[in-house]
A and B are shown apart, each in its own frame.
Chain A
Amino acid sequence: MNETATETDALWPRRVLLSWLQDVGEIFILLGDVVREIPAGARKVNLLVAQMSHIGIGSMPLTVIVALFTGAVAAVQASYQFRDYVPMIYLGTVIGKSVVIELGPVLTALVVGGRVGASIAAELGTMRVTEQIDAMETMGISPVRFLVVPRVLAALIMLPVLTIFADVVAILGGYLVSTLTLDVTSHTFVSGLKLYFKSQDVFSGLIKAFSFGGIIAMMGCYYGLRSEGGAEGVGLATTRAVVASCLMILIVDYLLASFLFRVLFA
């Protein structure tokens, strides 16, 4: 191995760190632009409604299927772990709590992040490489106001809505499996569900969903707007948007859980 190659290898972690820091900085700059443009962007009701339909109604079938099976699996696995140790009345409790606090918002966000994050990055990326974004700027129209704000607002609104649907369907899935296959009566399951129910659990889940909505749209828009090259650049932007969304969702999930359950509701 020659000297230059060794030097390049030694600089590799520094380059990755710098590129990562640059991404973080630029995402915050974009976030600042979005916040500044929200009053004007929110007035574009037709664009907002179109995005709400795409993100919300378009993601509903996938969300419902994922939620149904999540609830079903939660019931099967919880009953397996409870057997001989924990009374089955707690089956409804644990399914309800885990779905509302964690599984509903996080799995919905991961599924929607894959679907919507990729679609936003691909759409804006294609617009970037075909000079449509440049054309918009040349026409004196802010791409942040026209393209990013409606997507971010729609995701912020629709993720909590999708999460509410996911919560209901997942609990229903858990209920069906428990009552039909696990010898748990309907009364036992519902009593357990109500036992330690706290409205702050639902609130926490919705706070998470709201934050995840922002992350998904921001990552899709950021990587889409900075794509370059051609089809390969758009593909790369799409992959990066989905990977970054998923990672950010899990990291922010931990941070929010720590804040909500160790500080706010402690």
Chain B
Amino acid sequence: MPEVAIQFQGVSKRLGRKEVLRGVDLDVARGESLAIIGRSGTGKSVLLKHVVGLMRPDQGTVRVNGVDVASLEETELLSLREEMGMLFQGGALFDSMTVGENVGLALHEHTPLPEKQIEIVVAEKLALVGLSGSEGLRPSSLSGGMKKRAALARALALNPKIMLYDEPTTGLDPITSDVINRLIRRLQDRLKITSIAVTHDMRSAYHIADRIAMLHEGRIHAMGTPEEIQATRDPIVRQFIEGSSEGPLLPT
């Protein structure tokens, strides 16, 4: 049995009056790429934030490399996070810094590398995402796709062992989405990173995932390989992947 890198056990979370997660059980194997699909507002991003300890479960546990994230002290949590990278929905680039400074920030903070060496690593990471030479640009001057790629380069700066992608293709045109999907898949194949991608873009999920899990009503409703999900007869999953307004899922 493959080693488990990320494990959710009975995770429940209430935000205000809404019970977003209602006992999520989910294992992600080391080196695996998992896509979590589901409708907007079903708690997919909330699930990701539990992995990095930005949120703590009301009930249940989230373990990363066997360690209960909620039990960690602030300093232990900060060091665990150094092993993870997260791509946020809007990129979340620091707009007071240039692209190069964004990518180099974690290197300045967590490594003893000299400035020259950091510049080399930043250039390498930007080249990896196809943004060579953009070190001096401000995030405000980048297009949506470039912001996502720059944010991806920043997330990869410390060579994370775990990558979390929050809606990596939302708001992008189909061609840019394909560029991002290929990039994520290429990183996956090349670096063998454990990854979780939250998305409602089925094209993206089929492209980047080894397994797909559907989150519905606060629980994992279905799980399978992209082929299994495509062939499923479950009416909820079928309606979602076909993007149909007719079926058990009602418009919100």
Q: Which A residues fall within an 8 A CB radius of B?
A: 127, 130-132, 134-142
Contact = CB atoms under 8 A, between A and B. Distances in A.
Interface stretch (B56-64, B86-94, B129-137, B200-208): B86-94
Interface of B: 49, 52, 54, 74, 78-79, 81-82, 84-86, 88-90, 92-95, 105-106, 109-110, 151, 154, 158
A128 B74 CA distance: 19
A135 B150 CA distance: 13
Contacts of B110: 140
A76 B78 CA distance: 59
Contact of A134 (B92, B109, B158): B92
A130 B90 contact: yes
B88 A131 contact: yes
A131 B84 CA distance: 16
A133 B86 CA distance: 13
A134 B87 CA distance: 11
Contacts of B94: 127, 132, 135-136
A135 B49 CA distance: 11
Nearest to A135: B92
B105 A139 contact: yes
B88 A135 contact: yes
B84 A138 contact: yes
Contacts of A132: 92-95
Nearest to A146: B109
23 contacts: A131-B88, A132-B92, A132-B93, A132-B95, A134-B92, A135-B86, A135-B88, A135-B92, A135-B93, A135-B94, A135-B154, A136-B94, A137-B78, A138-B52, A138-B85, A138-B86, A139-B81, A139-B105, A139-B154, A140-B78, A140-B79, A140-B106, A140-B109
Contacts, number: 53
A259 to B, nearest CB: 34
Contacts of B90: 130-131
Nearest to A142: B78
B179 to A, nearest CB: 22
Contacts of B92: 130-132, 134-135
A244 B54 CA distance: 27
Residue with the greatest number of chain B CB neighbours at <10 A, chosen from A134, A138, A142: A138
Contacts of A134: 49, 54, 88, 92
Contact of A140 (B82, B88, B95, B151): B82
A178 B60 CA distance: 73
Contacts of A137: 52, 54, 78, 81
A131 B167 CA distance: 13
A36 B109 CA distance: 18
Nearest to B82: A140
A139 B109 contact: yes
Nearest to B75: A142
A138 B106 CA distance: 10
Nearest to A139: B106
A135 B102 CA distance: 11
A36 to B, nearest CB: 10
Contacts of B93: 132, 135
Nearest to B94: A132
A138 B164 CA distance: 10
A139 B84 CA distance: 8
Contacts of B151: 135
3 tightest CB-CB pairs across the interface, nearest first?
A135-B92, A131-B92, A140-B81
Contacts of A130: 90, 92
Contacts of B54: 134, 137-138
Nearest to A131: B92
A127 B94 CA distance: 8
A134 B166 CA distance: 12
Contact of A138 (B81, B89, B95, B109): B81
Contacts of A140: 78-79, 81-82, 106, 109-110
B156 to A, nearest CB: 11
Nearest to A126: B95
Residue with the greatest number of chain B CB neighbours at <10 A, chosen from A135, A137, A141: A135
Contacts of A138: 52, 54, 81, 84-86
Contacts of A135: 86, 88, 92-94, 151, 154
Contact of B106 (A127, A131, A141): A141
A132 B139 CA distance: 12
